[in-house]
Structure 1
Amino acid sequence: MESLFSSRKRDDILQNMTKQKYDVFIIGGGITGAGTALDAASRGMKTALCEMQDFAAGTSSRSTKLVHGGLRYLKQFEVKMVAEVGKERAIVYENGPHVTTPEWMLLPMHKGGTFGKFSTSIGLRVYDFLAGVKKAERRSMLNAEETLQKEPLVKKNGLKGGGYYVEYRTDDARLTIEVMKEAVKFGAEAVNYAKVSDFIYENGKVTGVVIEDVFTKKTYRVHAKKIVNAAGPWVDRLREKDHSKEGKHLQHTKGVHLVFDQSVFPLKQAVYFDTPDGRMVFAIPRDGKAYVGTTDTVYNEDLEHPRMTTADRDYVINAINYMFPELGIKAEDVESSWAGLRPLIHEEGKDPSEISRKDEIWTSESGLITIAGGKLTGYRKMAEHIVDLVRDRLKEEGGRDFGPCRTKTMPISGGHIGGSKNLDDFIQAKAAEGIKAGLSEETAKQIAARYGSNADRLFDRVPSLKDEAAERRIPVHVLAEMDYGIEEEMAAVPADFFVRRTGALFFDINWVRTYKDSLTDYMSEKLNWDGETKARHVQALEGLLHDAVVPLESR
């Protein structure tokens, strides 16, 4: 089956875009852009999207990887946001249970800490009510002994008890990719490494974009009735091109997360805890690792490559040792890390942690529609608001009515398994197919859990790749994942696969070191790279491996 989302088809997709006139063209392939493409395409709009890096390469692969209701926003009395975002958690989970999963969270309470027993109990109850939390997942309050049973590593000195409530953990980059693939299934055309270098205007109104292929430097002129700027941290750069950056603007803040092996940090329970400076930090177990974050500092440097600094690293390590004092975590214990930017809407005189996470839509005089701010959890509602606006404008201009949003109960790619209640049975049944294809039970289950209803597409590759995998000394399922990434998830360079299609650079960095050379060779042959191109992509991956471990010296 020929895939419409193969990195070998990038040139064809861009060429085809120049021959169309779209109802809506979306700039930005993070979760907001992907969600907007799915909403628009599923309503029948002729939809196209471009991303100047890889899909999810900006903020959408560098979050805390939680689809959470924003408990801390209750402290800022952002009740409406907590209610909307809280309800969205369950929707995001139901539509893609293979990438999002419930995660019980422990909120320890200590003498002199931010959270008292009474205020925490009330806060969590209000949270449950606003977010419409189902009965089995409602909060409970624990005494000190019960809190330590959940997580024995928590600081015992001054411990009064804890709150216990549900959040949802996700793979943010895979969530973005799956939403994008579903949009493509509905007819959206999407391409990565394609940068908008200019806008096209007619009579003062924006009617198209000039796209530059980042690899070939070729340019393409693409026309659309409406242009949506969903470029995350880069939205102001596009507003500058449109000469419309006035009034409100972005304030970037940086968040850093550190990853530890469970042998160093044997965390068994996700914990949301106070730091000495009154901020809140998450510590979350995942696949034999524990990750902790995040920092929240104003950022005015390179948007493409935010880095962990020694100050960021030390802040998180100090927070860990404050709440988990028996561990004695040191800088050399850090196995990997990531740094991401929050594109927040600037509010004069506010500390980074106090700036609202709400989203806003702005329309310029030329008609450029910009979406700014917002949270991962709220991506579907943000998309609905944008596409409603596009629908209304198209209708006012004499076009057809594209009707209401259809995504509330729409599974994303890989999520076609009949809802979360079927996930365990689905994984069991799918694993049996993987075993038939020649994989071990453990590997077959891992693939079924990661790829959901698309697991067949990987299992189907196993027989034909067996000999080649043996020749290249790569396990056949690993080669199948890379092949699927290239052909059906538009992985165009090694970093796309190792960082965003698998998350391995963060959560299994030694696996990346083991397979990077042989898998890059395979990708290079498949995509016909010359020596110079291959060397450039190898160097980029080596740079990411270095930056995940070695911090920038703080000035």
Structure 2
Amino acid sequence: MRDFQTIQNTAFDLIIIGGGINGAAVARDAAWRGLKTIVVDKEDFGGGTTSWSTRLVHGGLRYLEYFEFHLVRESLKEREVLLNAAPHLVKPIQMTIPIYGSGSRSYWEIWAGMMLYDVLSFDKTLLNHRMLPAKKVRQLFRSVNPEDLKGAAQYYDAQAEYAERLCLENILSAEEAGATLLNYVTVVEIQRQDERITSLVCEDQLSGDRFTIKGTDQAVVINTSGPWVDQVLGLGRRGDRQAPIGQDKKMGGTKGSHIIVDPFPGAPDTALYVEAASDGRPYFIVPWLNMYLIGTTDLRYTGDLDRVKANDDEIDYLISETNRVVPTAHLTRKEIKFTYSGVRPLPNAEGKKPGSITRKHILFDHSKEGVSNLISLIGGKLTTHRQVGEEMVDLVYRKWKQPVPECVTDKQRLPGAIMPDAPEIDAALETYGDRVAAESIHHLFLIYGARAPQVLALVDEAADLGEKVVDYLPDIKAQAVYAVRAEMAHTLADICRRRTTLSMQANYGFDALPAVLSALQQHCGWSEAKCDRQSEAYRQFMAENCIPDYLLASPELTRELQPTA
């Protein structure tokens, strides 16, 4: 149970609205510097833009053409920090850029960009780039379209296969340092007096309870709500009347969609970074959890931020462009296993092409709009979240006109940090190898890292928790129970979409629901009625966000989408 009475009786130094990767990073940094910190998110942690990303921790090679050298350098530095801070979640990945005569960038331009990329990542542990002539490319990538091929560039970036868990580990680190963290809490009102925010009126979506979060005399409110920044600013009140904060629109997000497919004929062993022929936009074909993640699009978006879905045209665009680059693929809509889409929290930039809008983040101090203790984050990327946290907390101390304490997050590892040859893995295999499949044990260390033994310990409590959720995936029932007990999961989407990747691998998660619900009923006290409600809500979530429109009426999914009898 959440103790709202204690929260109401506590004065916080930092009140953070939005628990995506950037809000989590701010909370982590602030809490470890000793600030009394609270985070609220109207949905689950990482449930917005964080969970809809391409899952790459990269320097932003294409930002070079817009002369954003500082952003590229910052991103490359943070990539190195994350490779060390979370080696179980952030891993090197090789990228190959096929270069065509018809492309917008010549072989020599890309070569120059790669050399600059290496210069800006002078302190990296990854290998430098190499350029490949066309003949070598055809030897290494025999299924890549050879027509007008001039060569390729190869380099290394990093991948965060479980981006949602990277966010969660920031949340858990903040909690370890004393922060208060609340998901499924909606900010209803932002109360102001004179030029200061005095309190937030909040509503707990799980219980319906209303409560108030108050700050100290010097408290600062941080708005890291991503694409919802303007909506949060619209909640401002002064006395008994609504008084939105600021007049100008801050956000101008673009929509990015992805598709997931099984391995296809000619699928590359490493990632391809290619240019779409139809519009010149770069996109990725990335190996991901024994499947392929393909994306992303970049379209202006003005629709419902809570209901963002890849449309049929976007899906066809990604299929068509992939078939052009890899002619043997022959992908069709039938090969689509999962789709997802989100909105990038970019600054409002009317008239600019989506791809040219800056990706650098802005810390917007609302003092210039008459609110002295509010800062909004405009922009922000998965790669640079730790840097955002550091900058935001530094700015808070400067606003207080106090000395800025040393930031520790650039050297501190995340809670699950562990190397792939850690002795704990062999110990777990020896202890649980007769009760849990070896592939499942290895899988747990990939996801939870050093915290995997805590998940396995549940098998000592109940042997059935060591069983697989579905026979074709390594996930076990204990993961669902652990998500609820230790990772602040409250819904099936939390468990299947963000604490695990069951939604994306097990037929939209439908194959996994019987085992997951059984485990929750037996070991987490979920009633049959709650299981039915959660099951129906999960099916609605999948239909609204992840299942392509052309599939919604298909016979194979019609039955799955029906509410539990």
Confirm or deny: 8 A CA contact 1:437 1:463 kept in the other structure: no
Partner of residue 463 from structure 1, selected from 448, 460, 463:
460
Percent of counterpart pairs with the same letter? 30
Distance 1:288 1:203 in 2: 56
Structure 1 segment 223-242 matched on structure 2, within 5 A:
223-224=214-215, 225-242=219-236
Instruction: Give, in whole Å, the separation in 2 of the partners of 1:472 and 1:455.
Output: 17
Question: In the aligned structure 2, how far is the partner of 1:124 from the partner of 1:211?
Answer: 49
User: Superposition RMSD on alpha carbons, in Å?
Assistant: 2.3
What is the CA–CA distance in structure 2 between the aligned matches of 1:265 and 1:60, rounded to whole Å? 30
2:110 aligned partner, one-letter code: T
The answer to whether the Cα contact below 8 Å between 1:249 and 1:345 also exists between their aligned partners in 2 is yes
Matches of 1:165 and 1:522, distance apart in 2: 44
> Who is 1:5 aligned against?
none
Contact preservation (8 Å) 2:187, 2:200: yes
- 2:398 matched to which residue of 1? 392
| TM superposition score normalised by structure 1 | 0.91
Structure 1: where are the runs of 5+ without partners?
Answer: 1-8
Corresponding residue for residue 54 of structure 1? 44
Q: Once the two structures are superposed, what CA deviation does each residue of 1:308-333 show, in whole Å capped at 9, x if it has no partner?
A: 11111111111111211121111111
1:341 to 337, 340, 343: 343
- Show the counterpart of 2:252: 251
| Counterpart-to-counterpart distance in 2, 1:455 and 1:257 | 30
The 1:392/1:316 distance shift into structure 2, 3 A limit, reads same
The 3 A distance-change label for structure 1 pair 218 and 69 is same
**Quick one: distance in 2 between partners of 1:98 and 1:464?**
26
CA drift at 1:16: 2.4
CA distance in 1, matches of 2:152, 2:427: 39
* Counterpart-to-counterpart distance in 1, 2:534 and 2:138: 47
Give the Cα–Cα distance (whole angstroms) in 1 for the partners of residues 381 and 132 of structure 2.
30
Contact 1:67 1:167 in 2 (8 A): yes
1:15 Cα offset (Å) = 3.4
User: Which structure carries more helix by proportion?
Assistant: 1
Counterpart position of 2:320: 318
- Post-superposition Cα deviations, 1:438-482, rounded to whole Å, max 9, x if no partner, equal 323222111112111101101211121204667999999612111
Q: Which residue of structure 1 aligns with residue 503 of structure 2?
A: 505
Residue 332 of structure 2 corresponds to residue 330 of structure 1: yes
> What's 1:423 paired with?
420
SS of 2:362 mapped into structure 1: strand
Between the two proteins, the alignment pairs up a number of residues equal to 533
Specify the code of the residue in structure 1 equivalent to 2:262.
D
Alignment-mate amino acid for residue 482 of structure 1:
A
Equivalent residue number for residue 494 of structure 1: 492
**For residues 289 and 56 of structure 1, what CA distance do their matches in structure 2 show?**
22
* 1:252–1:341 CA contact under 8 A, matched in 2: yes
Q: Does 1:212 align with 2:203?
A: yes
* Greater relative contact order structure (CA < 8 Å, 6+ sep): 1
1:226 maps to amino acid: V
How has the CA–CA distance of structure 1 residues 223 and 430 changed in structure 2, closer, same or farther, with 3 Å as cutoff? farther
Cα contact 2:502–2:512 (8 A) shared by 1: no
Deviations 1:146-167 (A, max 9, x none): 2234433211111111100011
Counterpart amino acid of residue 424 in structure 1? D
- Within 5 A, what are the aligned runs for 1:29-428? 29-132=19-122, 134=124, 136-170=126-160, 171-224=162-215, 225-242=219-236, 243-247=244-248, 249-263=250-264, 266-276=267-277, 277-364=279-366, 365-366=370-371, 367-395=373-401, 401=403, 403-415=405-417, 417=418, 422-426=419-423, 428=425
Partner of 1:25: 15
Q: CA 1:458–1:528 in 2, change beyond 3 Å: closer, same or farther?
A: closer
Gaps of 5+ in 2: 237-243, 552-565
Could you tell which deviates more after superposition, 146-155 or 227-236?
146-155
Aligned residue for 1:423, secondary structure, equals coil
Instruction: Name the SS of the counterpart of 1:454 in structure 2.
Output: helix
**Contact 2:20/2:48 (8 A) holds in 1:** yes
| Whole-angstrom CA distance in 2 between matches of 1:123 and 1:200 | 49
Asked whether the 8 Å contact 1:53–1:193 carries over to 2, the reply is yes
For residue 504 of structure 1, report the CA deviation from its aligned partner. 2.4
Q: CA deviation at 1:530?
A: 5.5
**Contact persistence 2:283–2:295 (CA under 8 A):** yes
The 8 Å contact of residues 521 and 528 in structure 2, kept in 1 or not, is answered as: no
- Aligned counterparts of 2:336 and 2:344: Cα–Cα separation in 1: 23
Question: Deviations along 1:233-277, whole A, 9 cap, x unmatched?
Answer: 111111122322333510121100000011567331100001011
Preserved CA contact (<8 Å) 1:114 1:278? yes
- Contact 1:466–1:476, Cα closer than 8 Å, also in 2: no
CA shift, 1:430, in A, is: 5.1
CA contact (8 A) 1:210 1:219 kept: yes
Q: Deviations over 1:405-460 (max 9, x none)?
A: 11001111201x3xxxx433457435535545732322211111211110110121
Moved more, 136-145 or 179-188: 136-145
